[in-house]
Amino acid sequence: MKDTLAGRLAFLISKLGLTQQEFARRIQYTQAYICMVLNGAKTKPGHRFITAVCREFNVNPEWLKGGREPVFSIPGVPLPPERAELLARIFMLPDDKQAIIRDIVDAYWARAVSGNSGQVTANSEKKAGADRRRKK
């Protein structure tokens, strides 16, 4: 399935949990165009298409064009594939959901830096989030 661009695109859409319509909207292409790529009618989409997919979903262009792993990548940041995928999925979330994750990470980070055992309470998570919002 992942031997062709169409197969890799189908895999990506499925992995991201998106419909073809949502995927198309996110990269500012029509659903009809996505269908042409998926059905093999459009075997070599242009550079703009590849760039749009890679930028929007943090996809490795070498994987999308030719199947070379990893699937996800963050430009300029060398990460193991599983971490790149995790970050890519976080970046796809709406801003308010990303803020929740940031608050949780901030709380854990504050505990780790302070030498605490890493136990995080609901109050420390709320405090870290409130502190971050005040800094804005």
**pLDDT at residue number 4:** 95
CATH of domain 5-76: 1.10.260.40
**pLDDT at residue number 123:** 55
**pLDDT at residue number 120:** 52
**Beta bridge partner(s), residue 59:** 72
**Tokens coding 90:** 């976080």
**pLDDT at residue number 136:** 55
**pLDDT at residue number 24:** 97
Instruction: Say if CB 91 and CB 78 are below 8 A apart.
Output: no
10-residue mean pLDDT profile of the chain (136 residues): values are 90 92 96 96 94 93 93 82 85 89 89 68 54 58
**pLDDT at residue number 131:** 60
**pLDDT at residue number 2:** 80
Nearest 5°: the CA angle 40, 45, 47 is 160
CATH 1.10.260.40 intervals, the chain:
5-76
* Chain CA centroid to CA 54, Å: 10
